[in-house]
Amino acid sequence: LANSETLDTFKILIATDIHLGYLEKDAVRGNDTFVTFDEIMKCAKQNEVDFVLLGGDLFHDNKPSRKAMHNCMEALRKYCMGDKPILFEVLSDQAVNFGNSKFPWVNYQDENLNISIPVFSVHGNHDDPTGADGLCALDLLSCAGMLNHFGRSLSVEKLEISPVLLQKGSTQIALYGIGSIPDERLYRMFVNNQVTMLRPREDENSWFNLFVIHQNRSKHGATNYIPEQFLDDFLDLVVWGHEHECKIAPVRNEQQLFYITQPGSSVVTSLSPGEAVKKHIGLLRVKGRKMNLQKIPLHTVRQFLIQDITLMDYPDIFSPEQPNVTHKVQAFCQQKVEEMLEEAEKERLGNPQTPEKPLIRLRVDYSGGFESFNTMRFSQKFVDRVANPKDLLHFTRQREAKDGMRDEGIDFEALLSRPSSEVLQLRVEDLVKEYFQTAEKNMQLSLLTEQGMGKAVQEFVDKEERDAIEELISYQLEKTQRYLRERHVEASEEKIDEEVRYSHGDVTLHLHSTFPSTQGYITVNTQHEAFTPTQRTSEKQQPTAYTILQ
C-alpha cells in the first residue's frame, strides 16, 4: 500500500493538540507553537495530502490573541490555498455536517475560494464554543473559508453523529467526529444510550470508518474519562485527541476490534513524563478497507528531558544527619542537570531546526528528613542554557502531600503560597466545590448549585467570559421566579425562603449541568433517510489490516 499512490488512495495528515499561542509572551518559548504549526502544514503540502485532519485544541486559549490568530491564518493561507485539484468528493448532506456555519459546505467547493488542501477539525476543550452565541475560534476560521469545523453538537441531552462521507476513486471514508464535551456529561450520555452514530444505508460494509474524539482517554475519576469500549465496534480507526503523550502507532482494542492512534501534542505544555516522549504527526493512507500509518517526527519541537530522583535511594552519598548535607544535595542535583543538558546537546547535533535551549525538569523527592533549598538561586546557574529556568527543579513529598489533602481538604492560604506551576494544575471548578463543601452553613448556596457556579467561574477564569457568572445568576433567578409563580407561593420572604430550600436541587435547579454557555441548546432528533443508527453487536468483520512505517 505504501508504494501504490493511486487515484483510489486517500492521503491524510493527522495531528492533534497544537495549542497555538501557548506561552506566546515568553521571551524564549513564545514562537514555539507557531514554528511547529508551520512545519506541520509544510509537511502536508510536501506530501501532497488530500486533506489535513486535526483532533482539537488548535488554539491554547479560548479567545486567541491577534498574534495567534494571525500566525494560524498565515500558515493556512500559505500552505492550503492554490491551484492543486481536489481529487475526492463529499457525498453526504453538507447542510447536516456543517449546519452551524453560515456557509454549510466544504470550503474547497466555495466558488470564491481556491483551496488546494482542505483542513477538517473538531474543537477541543481549550478552543470550545462559549458565550451566548456558542462560537469558538474555529468558527472564525470556518467563516473565513480556511477550515472546515465539524463534530459540533447542539444538544446537551443526546448526541447524534452524522458522518462526513468522502469518496476518492473506489475508496470511501465515513468521517465521524465529536468536539470536546465535559467528560462526565458524555460518559453519562453513553451509559444512557443517548449517543447514536449514523451509518450509510447503502453498502455500509464498504466504508472505512474514521472517528475523531477529544476526551480523556486515561481514567481521571469514576466518570471523568471515556472508556474505549463505549465506542461503536464498526469503527476502523479512532484518532484520539486531548491526551498529550505521543502514542501514534495504532493499537488494536481487542474487545471492539478497532485501532486507536493517539498522536499527542506538538508542543510541551506541562513538565510531565508523558510530554517527554518524542513528538510525531501521522501520514495516514487509506485504500478500500486497508490503512497504513507513517510516523513523521517533528524537528522543530523543543527538546524536553525529565528525571526523577529520590534522595533516600543514595545513602552512600548523603544522609540527613550529615553536616552540610544540603550543599551535597545541591551539588548532586547540579550534576544531574549537567548530564541532561549534555544528552540534549548530543540529540540536537545535526538538526538545526531544533531550538537551542532545551526544557529540563529534575523532580527531587526529599522525604526522609532532608531539607529543600532555594530553587530560584539554583536555577540562576542555568538561566542561559535552559528554556525553563523557573521550573527547572521541583521538590516533592508525594506521600505526605496526599495524606494531608485527604484529611484536611484545600487550605486556600497555603494554596496562594504554592509555586505557580502547581496552582495551574488545579481545576477551578474543584476549588469552588471544595470551598462550599467546607464553608459554614450560613455560607452555603441556596439558590445556585455548586456545579453550576463551578462551571461559571471556570468560564470566567479560563475562557475570559466576563458575563458568565452574571448570566448564570440571571438565568437561575428567572427560572426560580417562574417556578414560584407557577406554584402560587405567597409573596413573603419566609414563604419564598422555605420554598427555595425545599426545591433546591430538585425542580428549580434540575439543570442537567446547564449553565449560560449551554443556554439555547435544543435537542436534535433528526432521522436522515440516507443513514441508519448503528446496532451494537458482538460480531465484527475482518479487522482492518495496517502497517506502520518508521
Q: Are 274 and 287 within 8 A, CB to CB?
A: no
Residue where the block lists cell 452551524? 100
Q: Which three cell numbers stand for residue 106?
A: 466544504
Angle at 420 between CA 414 and CA 422, to 5 degrees: 70
What is the per-residue DSSP string for 224-251?
Answer: SS--GGGS-TT-SEEEEES--S-EEEEE
Distances, alpha carbon 322 to alpha carbons 319, 329, 395, in Å: 6, 11, 20
Residue where the block lists cell 498565515? 74
Question: How far from chain centre, in Å, is Cα 341?
Answer: 30
Q: Which three cell numbers stand for residue 512?
A: 442537567
How would you classify the pairing of strands 208-214 and 247-252? unpaired
Q: Which of 126, 149, 242, 244 is catalytic?
A: 126
Q: Is 159 helix (H, G, I), strand (E, B) or coil?
A: strand
Distances, alpha carbon 531 to alpha carbons 101, 189, 480, in Å: 22, 21, 41
Contacts of 136 by beta carbon, 8 Å cutoff, 6+ apart: 62, 123, 127, 128, 129, 130, 149
Question: Using H for helix, E for strand and C for coil, what is the string for 165-213?
Answer: EEEECCEEEEEEEECCCCHHHHHHHHHCCCEEEEEECCCHHHCEEEEEE
What is the per-residue DSSP string for 332-400?
Answer: HHHHHHHHHHHHHHHHHTT-TTS-SSPEEEEEEE-TTT-----HHHHHGGGTTT-S-GGGSEEEE-HHH
Note if 126 is an active site residue: yes
Phi, psi of 483 (to 5 degrees): -65, -45
Q: Of 185, 189, 179, 262, whose CA–CA distance to 214 is shortest? A: 179
Q: Of 78, 106, 85, whose CA–CA distance to 94 is shortest? A: 106
Within 13 Å of residue 253, how many CA atoms lie on the same side as its CB?
22
Q: Are 298 and 265 within 8 A, CB to CB?
A: no
Angle at 425 between CA 420 and CA 431, to 5 degrees: 100
The length of the chain in residues reads: 550
Q: Of 239, 217, 219, whose CA–CA distance to 228 is shortest? A: 217
Contacts of 90 by beta carbon, 8 Å cutoff, 6+ apart: 97, 106, 109, 164, 165, 166
Active site residues: 126
